[in-house]
Structure 1
Amino acid sequence: MSTQFEPLPGDRPISFNRLMALKQNGDDTFESLTGAWPPGPMKRAFGGHVYAQAMYAASKTVAKGFVVHQMTGYFILPGAIDVPFEYRVRRVRDGGIYCLRAVDVFQQSHAAADGRTPCFTATMSFKRSERGNRKWQPWEYQNVPKEHIKTEYGRVLDGLNPQDHILAPASDALWWIDSDYMKRVTPIFPGVETRKVDMTKYNGQVELGRGIEGEAISKYRQLLFYRLYQDEEGDGDVDLNLHAAAHLYTSDRNSLFLIQRALGYEKVVCSLASLSHTVIFHGFAEDLCMIGENGKSKWFVQESWTSHGGENRGTHHSLLWDCEKGKVIATTIQDGMIRVPKESADKIAMGKEDSGKASKL
């Protein structure tokens, strides 16, 4: 593999292993080797890229056997796609069972203040397995049954395999999909194959600016199936932190657009930006492995919704599921900026837009 920075090829998917590739520049300092994916024509980097790669860089500084179990990141400045990210890892604490890392991410670009200000910062905790420890007890739990995805969403999943659903759009907003923007974006989402479920039969009708008719906005749901793009020659030994990075990467996929759609603003051009994102992995580290016993990529599914919002911010929640085991492997919560143009919001509130009637999503 070349150690020179390479722009992301937009005409074909690449493996997640290649997408996350790093070179070490010094003590606890790493640099990305592949450009980030731009979800829009502005050529700004997908936030999930720097989020996942920051953890992956930190994982290079922990002892063998430590796997990430929690991460919180803060998005400070937009990232560029044609400049490497520099990951500066700080060793906060090394313990016998837990260790903590902090990462500040810089770019030599105008978007990130010429490298003087980090564009992203995060803390993440890694954990060693406690099996064999005299204090270890073999218990685990989740607050939803294993069959939840199949039973709750049978109307939209019946008879379909994950690969039968459409590839998730670059940016999941109707105003974006129906505009010329889509002609100017990189269509291939790299690293991870993502398939969006048509939730029309489940979500029913959504009133613009008000959410689902007769229901709480938190009733609105979206399912996204995902699996790794692997190297043709295979990825070699399983690096669970690399697989964890793939889950982190996908958890940020089109997240804030869900809030816009749940509120009925799907046709309004809104300003959206991630502010902070937290992911907590549950259970055993091996549950994060995205390769099955047959050597092929396993399907996982993200179940997403929103709960609260106001003051131009909204929250995005999700559970990440192992489809085969019916097991929740992670919980996520994201705080995002959502600004609806005043003129559009006023028109919707006054019922003056033609699209102001309830519409199916």
Structure 2
Amino acid sequence: MGTKFEPLPGDKPISFNRLMALKQTGDDTFESLTAAWPPGPMKRAFGGHVYAQAMYAASKTVAEGFVVHQMTGYFILPGAIDVPFEYRVRRVRDGGIYCLRSVDVFQQSHAAADGRTPCFTAIMSFKRSERGNKKWQPWEYQNVPKEHIKTEYHRVLEGLNPQDHPLAPASDALWWENSEHLKSVTPIFPGVEARKVDMTKYNGQMKVGGQDGAAISRYRQLLFYRLYQDEESDAVDLNLHAAAHLYTSDRNSLFLIQRTLGYDEVVCSLASLSHTVVFHGFAEDLCMVGEDGRSKWFVQESWTSHGAENRGTHHSVLWDCENGKVIATTIQDGMVRVPSDAVNEVVMGDEKNVKSSKL
């Protein structure tokens, strides 16, 4: 392959620019240069890596001025961390204002490496600014006030800066947080600094088995995040910054569903099936660096709505903390399988005996 494939250092974060680095290997074909982060000792790639990098690869094929505004991806096979991802971009359409790309992602480690079955596939739309166009009108809106995060969650945020909250765990479940072994073998989350807010005072205690629909509808999780930058930052690439938002939007998403169901001490099987992100407003809203050149804080506000048949939905809104502006809406469809013994104990009314499974 000629180019060295770089593993993660593990004991320290790396910049997002370095994490997303790509090598062009052919016409509209790109290869990752840095290994994906594994959420645990299973050595499977974090799904947000391939999701974000697929868009970033596609952005290399669009004209200057086009920035992603919507993406939907489907997770087909688990990703490995010891071999590069290959991104094959298809130019679906090039228009004056919008252009469309699809991306199929492959790895040589898969049995399906004959080229017929990708491990991930996605379609995304890019948009050029319409400022200066005679049809353009300067309007924008959002259905919540700018002060929503501060006012709604003042009980858990008051007196704390984003950096005062603890780093988000590799897997947001109590069985993980209580295991010193799992913490010690998991590399530091690269590219983006992510800090989880303790929402106990806001959410209260969840009832096991998802039996309290009102409590589930109120349940929320906040995650503050910002870029890890290179020492010498290059010119801002808005598609790279958009990729950082995409990357973080998948962070610990399905564990929220497990927590709302009261199974946070149970080892459940979780897997993303599809993930959609819609960016709102102007492309410059996606910029994660302030005028002073320092990384800006954003926050993801997450919840779940409905679920059944071993599937649940994860929703979130991404906010610019400084300006009180919603920059994106996300929805994810995920597999959530609770061990049958835990479910049976709840059905029989013995909620107290639901225990953590062993890895």
TM-score normalised by the chain length of structure 2 = 0.95
What secondary structure sits across from 1:333 in the alignment?
Answer: strand
1:354 Cα offset (Å): 2.9
Alignment of 1:64-75 (within 5 A): 64-75=64-75
The amino acid that maps onto 1:224 is L
Q: What letter matches 1:231 in structure 2?
A: D
Distance 1:268-1:111 versus aligned 2 partners, 3 A rule: farther
* Counterpart residue number, 2:274: 276
Q: Secondary structure at the match of 1:354?
A: helix
Give the Cα separation in 1 of the matches to 2:33 and 2:254: 28
Corresponding residue for residue 306 of structure 1: 304
2:143 corresponds to: 143
Match of 2:260 in 1: 262
Task: Give 1:230's aligned residue.
Answer: 229
Find the counterpart in structure 2 of residue 45 from structure 1.
Answer: 45
Post-superposition offset of 1:101? 0.1
Structure 2 Cα separation of the partners of residues 62 and 337 of structure 1: 33
Give the Cα–Cα distance (whole angstroms) in 1 for the partners of residues 94 and 67 of structure 2: 13
Partner of 1:343: 341
- Between the aligned partners of 1:139 and 1:183, the Cα distance in structure 2 is 47
Deviation, 1:40, is 1.3
Q: Which runs of 5+ in 2 are unaligned?
A: none
Equivalent position SS for 2:170 = coil
Q: CA deviation at 1:15?
A: 0.0
Q: Counterparts of 1:314 and 1:110 in 2: how far apart (Å)? A: 27
Who is 2:24 aligned against? Answer: 24
Paired residues of 1:38 and 1:185 also in contact (CA < 8 A):
no
User: 1:232-247, aligned counterparts within 5 Å?
Assistant: 232-234=231-233, 236-247=234-245
d(CA) in 1 for partners of 2:353 and 2:145?
Answer: 39
Q: Secondary structure at the match of 2:155?
A: helix
1:8-44 C-alpha deviation (Å, 9 max, x unpaired): 1111100000000000001000000000000011100
Match of 1:82 in 2: 82
Measure, in 1, the Cα distance between the counterparts of 2:322 and 2:73.
29
Corresponding residue SS for 1:144: coil
Q: Report the AA paired with residue 293 of structure 1.
A: E
| Equivalent-residue separation in structure 2 for 1:104 and 1:312 (angstroms) | 27
Residue 179 of structure 1: CA displacement? 3.3
TM-score, structure 1 as length reference: 0.95
Q: Which residue of 1 aligns with 2:324?
A: 326
Measure, in 2, the Cα distance between the counterparts of 1:348 and 1:265.
10
**Distance 1:233-1:112 versus aligned 2 partners, 3 A rule:** farther
Cα distance in 2 for partners of 1:241, 1:134 equals 26
Distance in 1, Cα, partners of 2:274 & 2:181: 26
Shift of 1:187: 3.6
RMSD: 1.6
Q: 2: CA distance between counterparts of 1:181 and 1:331?
A: 35
Cα distance in 2 between the residues matched to 1:174 and 1:33? 34
Q: Say whether 1:287 aligns with 2:312.
A: no
**8 A Cα contact 1:14 1:191, kept in partner:** yes
**Contact 1:78-1:111 at 8 Å conserved across structures:** no
Q: Flag structure 1 segments of 5+ consecutive residues without an equivalent.
A: none
Identical residues among aligned pairs (%): 85
Structure-2 change in CA distance of 1:211 and 1:9 (3 Å): farther
CA distance in 1, matches of 2:48, 2:78: 12
What is the CA–CA distance in structure 2 between the aligned matches of 1:164 and 1:355, rounded to whole Å? 35
Give the Cα separation in 2 of the matches to 1:309 and 1:271.
15
Q: Is the 8 A contact 1:80 1:111 kept in 2?
A: no
1:73 counterpart SS class: strand
Question: 1:217 aligned to 2:219?
Answer: no
Q: Which amino acid aligns with 2:134?
A: R
Q: For the residues of structure 1 that align with 2:290 and 2:59, how far apart are their CA atoms?
A: 23
The 8 Å contact of residues 306 and 315 in structure 1, kept in 2 or not, is answered as yes
- Structure 1 runs of 4+ aligned residues shifted over 4 Å read 111-116
Q: Which AA in structure 1 matches 2:241?
A: H
How far residue 181 of structure 1 moved from its aligned partner, in angstroms, is: 5.4
Q: How many residues align?
A: 354
Are 1:170 and 1:185, in contact at CA under 8 Å, matched by a contact in 2? no
| Contact 2:177–2:183 (Cα < 8 Å) also in 1 | no
1:176 shift after superposition: 2.1
Give the secondary-structure state (helix, strand or coil) at the position aligned to 1:206.
coil
